[in-house]
Structure 1
Amino acid sequence: MEEGLESEVGEVRGAFESGRTRSLSWRRSQLRALLKLLKDEEDDIFKALKEDVGKHHVEAFRDEVGVLIKSIDFALGEIKRWMAPQRVWVPLVAFPTTAEVVPEPLGVVLIFSCWNFPLNLSLEPLIGAICAGNGVVLKPSELAPATSQFLACNIPKYLDSKAVKVVQGGAEVGQQLLELKWDKIFFTGGRRVGQIVMTAAAKHLTPVAIEVGGKCPAIIDSFTTAKDRKVTVERVVGGKWGPCAGQACIAIDYLLVEEEFAPVLVELLKATIAKFFTAREYVSRIVNKHHFERLSRLLEDKEVAASIKHGGLRDPENLFIEPTILLNPPLDTEIMTEEIFGPLLPIITLKKIEDSIEFVRARPKPLVIYAFTHNETLKKRIVEETSSGSVTFNDAIIQFLLDALPFGGIGQSGFGQYHGKYSFDLFSHRKSVVRRSFLTEFSFRYPPWDERKLQLLRYAYSFDYVRFVLYFLGLKR
């Protein structure tokens, strides 16, 4: 363990233990400072995101800067209410007693962010941790070095540099951080590293929130009107290739469609791709050579290559892969057994669209299920008969923008929910506080026991308060 790293974390703990992060004024000041950072440094943010993943600045604002501004504004308007103690109901057997739930910060938390949305996935959980009054250590992804450097340079300029720190480095630094005691660890990334994080956290019984994604299906019904088809296909293309060229945990991973509609859908997808991506700069590049080669290997499988209906062009020098459509690649190939995390879109055909429910149920629980349909019965069955982090009908990605909804996975797609108040709750301990008066005492709570006390307890625990009072006063036997 590097002495400097341990000292940095110790300084954050000292700031937390001083008590200053608990005040509403400190929390609001940090949120406003973060908002100022996003607005003042927007150009440098765009440059960093362009350098790391090739994002066009409009996409960068849509998916990273703008989303964060919205989240901070929402939090500033709600934080006082989130912090307020909540009175709870108390049964008669405890009279005279009041009780409430008081949210308190967990302490010092560690945030590991991911490279595909390197700004958003760093600052969105940071917003929640600050709202809850914690000290924070943020470890950005080393695979997005420009954004990591941007955060390391600018967060100390705008935020409380003793209570919020950025630690840069690769896997070795991450491992060193995991050796320390934390009050919560928040991790976004791949399943393999997520398992390492959980194993390390177990040594200290540290609670962990994990977001590792998965294969998100989109169920596409056979729409009959041109308008419905157009809107559906535009939203599918946006939900697959729009967010970082498919390098997103919530990107559509594959489509499920009826056999008869598949050829029509392929042509509509091809036309929409041509309309949207008129220049390479509108499609983010693959993050690095390793991931480029991984995606290339998926396409080099002979059976998978035979299923390509559009695209497939690869440019190793610029780490670019063309939006690619595949029709019925074998289900046992890697492209259908592992999360794609790239611009490759398999289409799987079914005899009837209702078969999609069993198809999804037979696989690990996804982070999101998307479904495009007017069929209310099918919608009801998807909600009731499948399990996923969330379900979105007739659009894609939009659920990520809704602060009033929890965001997170289930099963192998992760656990722990955040965004809006759910972020506040994730980084808070809900402490039960009970206040009892000396005004009176009920002797039936204590021995020596008799049948009268038993009857009073029966009435009290069954909420039969009228009979309780009558029996207590001797007016009923």
Structure 2
Amino acid sequence: MFQDLVKSQKLFFDSQQTKSLHFRQKALKKLKDSILSHKQEILQALSEDLGKHFVEGYMSEVAQVLEEISHALKDLKKYTKPQKVKTPITHFGGRSEVVYEPYGVVLVISPWNYPFALSLIPLVGAIASGNCVILKPSSYSKNTETILEQILCECFASEYVCMVKGGHQETQALLEEKLDYIFFTGSVPVGKIVMEKASKNLIPLTLELGGKNPCILDKDVDLDMSVKRIVWGKFFNSGQTCIAPDFLLAHKSHQNELIAKIMHYLQEFFGEEKMQSSSYGKIITQRHYTRAKELLEVECGEVIGGGFDDEKHKIEPTIINFKNLEKNHEGLLCRVMQEEIFAPILPIFFYEDIKECIDLIKTYPKPLALYLFSQDKKLQRKIVEEIPYGGGCMNDCIVQVANAYLPFGGVGHSGMGSYHGSANFETFSHKKSIYYAPKFELPLRYPPYSKKIFGIAREKILDFLFAGGKDGMAK
């Protein structure tokens, strides 16, 4: 179905144009200018697809892409130069370098929850690295898909950057092609399919997935500020964020105040009629909305909230108070604790000993993010060292994704590979190692090996070079 598209992109890549520093810079600047000129249409599309307020849409999507472009333009000249590395004394007289080489034709498959940012941030990395790109956005966010297509058609010829519209059938067809790299953001089940398809042609890939991201609220915190940040992070984009806190583990010392503070900030953010607030978004489709409603079918927890607007696909910000972590094993068996929530629902357990939290978190696959609210430096270090996860924050939620100097990505079940900032360039580049040999050479490597060199047995020279040599002997 897409053989001709892939063929045309491979031919264009082989023309060497995309590798030119000037060509890459011009492409990125053109993309930036187009985004700025269509800013209002982008924000309107995000509002129609997900009910995002214009401020939220700009902050979480448009600004993120503009920052990535600025970062890439600032450092692009440095990235495109060969990187000199040390050469050991065993290679005396030679020199070594690493060249960042673009893969070729890259397929970017993006999701619906941040349909603009998660389409264009990897696209920026692929362009900056000198690749040709096929973008396949989600068909669920149709309005954003339309403006993305308009921007890309304005900026690029299809043999360089092309967007493919459609659903499952089109995605499957693209995955059958012999691409040079695949970048996928989405769910774990679909990620497994993408990886299986890629393996047939040994195509390298990055998977940005998700998971049950824990949030721990220690006793040693500024409770008011902590709750404010947790509520914002959880209910941003109506909970449809892969790095949102998935469940909250709060110290039992907060049992009497926590729920009241959460409800206070929900009202402060969204008012009495929360689902009517222009600052509160909606669930993307009827299918996702129905699934979210079903997650609230629990018998052993207190559901606080849970209002529904079937017509607008809105669910009121909802808390499930499962109370005691150690005793309430039934709560952990509920569906809401067995899969990634991806909805405005926050389960809460209260714990007594931090070991309970660590043991519970380790029963789940490695999460994409973890959040700890604590001023205890020893506890912060303990959590970082003992629990594997993609990345996270201390005393805040989800803002790590906005730092272009931090690589963003999962580990194990939550993904592989990372991007953003310099990691964006590295992800879409193959590190090609080059050694430049000198004109002269040492006779050490040539037979007969029993023959002495300079009157010294070869094994003694080798012992000195390999076993006795130090880093300082490399140049």
Q: Would you call these one fold, judging by a TM-score over 0.5?
A: yes
Aligned-partner residue type, residue 392 of structure 2: V
Determine helix, strand or coil for the equivalent of 2:332: coil
Checking the alignment, whether the CA contact within 8 Å between 1:30 and 1:160 is kept in structure 2 is no
Alignment partner, residue 441 of structure 1: 441
1:207 aligns with 2:204: yes
Supply the distance in 2 between the matched residues of 1:222 and 1:100 (Cα, whole angstroms).
51
Query: TM-score, normalised to structure 1's length?
Result: 0.93
Determine helix, strand or coil for the equivalent of 2:331: coil
| Within-5 A mapping of 1:73-112 | 73-112=70-109
Supply the distance in 2 between the matched residues of 1:237 and 1:376 (Cα, whole angstroms).
24
Determine helix, strand or coil for the equivalent of 1:263: coil
Aligned-partner residue type, residue 240 of structure 1: K
Supply the distance in 2 between the matched residues of 1:85 and 1:444 (Cα, whole angstroms).
30
- Corresponding residue to 2:459 among 454, 457, 465: 454
Alignment partner, residue 268 of structure 1: 261
Q: Which region of structure 1 is more displaced relative to structure 2, 283-292 or 254-263?
A: 254-263
Alignment partner, residue 38 of structure 1: 35
1:230 aligns with 2:224: yes
- Corresponding residue to 1:320 among 299, 310, 314: 314
Checking the alignment, whether the CA contact within 8 Å between 1:235 and 1:396 is kept in structure 2 is yes
1:179 aligns with 2:176: yes
Checking the alignment, whether the CA contact within 8 Å between 1:210 and 1:416 is kept in structure 2 is yes
Alignment partner, residue 254 of structure 1: 247
Aligned-partner residue type, residue 115 of structure 1: W
What is the aligned-residue identity percentage? 39
Alignment partner, residue 360 of structure 2: 359
Checking the alignment, whether the CA contact within 8 Å between 2:216 and 2:371 is kept in structure 1 is yes
Alignment partner, residue 381 of structure 1: 382
CA displacement, residues 192-225 of structure 1 (integer Å, 9 cap, x when unaligned): 111111111111011111111111111001246x
Alignment partner, residue 241 of structure 1: 235
Alignment partner, residue 473 of structure 1: none
Aligned-partner residue type, residue 178 of structure 2: K
Checking the alignment, whether the CA contact within 8 Å between 1:354 and 1:378 is kept in structure 2 is no
Alignment partner, residue 196 of structure 1: 193
Q: Which region of structure 1 is more displaced relative to structure 2, 294-303 or 312-321?
A: 294-303
Alignment partner, residue 293 of structure 1: 290
1:307 aligns with 2:312: no
Supply the distance in 2 between the matched residues of 1:331 and 1:369 (Cα, whole angstroms).
18
Unaligned runs of 5+ in 2: 323-329
Supply the distance in 1 between the matched residues of 2:151 and 2:435 (Cα, whole angstroms).
43
CA displacement, residues 250-269 of structure 1 (integer Å, 9 cap, x when unaligned): 11111001223123111110
Aligned-partner residue type, residue 443 of structure 1: P
Alignment partner, residue 156 of structure 2: 159
Checking the alignment, whether the CA contact within 8 Å between 1:113 and 1:141 is kept in structure 2 is yes
Checking the alignment, whether the CA contact within 8 Å between 2:6 and 2:179 is kept in structure 1 is no
Aligned-partner residue type, residue 460 of structure 1: L
Cα 1:6/1:444, change in 2 over 3 Å: closer
Aligned-partner residue type, residue 306 of structure 2: G
Aligned-partner residue type, residue 169 of structure 1: G
Give the CA RMSD over aligned residues. Answer: 1.5
Determine helix, strand or coil for the equivalent of 2:460: helix
Supply the distance in 1 between the matched residues of 2:362 and 2:190 (Cα, whole angstroms).
26
Shift of 1:352: 2.5
Checking the alignment, whether the CA contact within 8 Å between 1:245 and 1:342 is kept in structure 2 is yes
Alignment partner, residue 48 of structure 1: 45
Checking the alignment, whether the CA contact within 8 Å between 2:212 and 2:364 is kept in structure 1 is no
Alignment partner, residue 475 of structure 1: none
Alignment partner, residue 427 of structure 1: 428
Supply the distance in 2 between the matched residues of 1:136 and 1:121 (Cα, whole angstroms).
14
CA displacement, residues 212-257 of structure 1 (integer Å, 9 cap, x when unaligned): 1111111001246xxx222111110111002x11101011111001
Unaligned runs of 5+ in 1: 469-477
Aligned-partner residue type, residue 454 of structure 1: E
Q: Which region of structure 1 is more displaced relative to structure 2, 60-69 or 87-96?
A: 87-96
Alignment partner, residue 136 of structure 1: 133
Checking the alignment, whether the CA contact within 8 Å between 1:88 and 1:99 is kept in structure 2 is yes
Checking the alignment, whether the CA contact within 8 Å between 1:98 and 1:436 is kept in structure 2 is yes
Q: Which region of structure 1 is more displaced relative to structure 2, 356-365 or 313-322?
A: 356-365
Aligned pair count reads 455
Checking the alignment, whether the CA contact within 8 Å between 1:13 and 1:163 is kept in structure 2 is no
Cα 1:179/1:464, change in 2 over 3 Å: closer
Alignment partner, residue 325 of structure 2: none
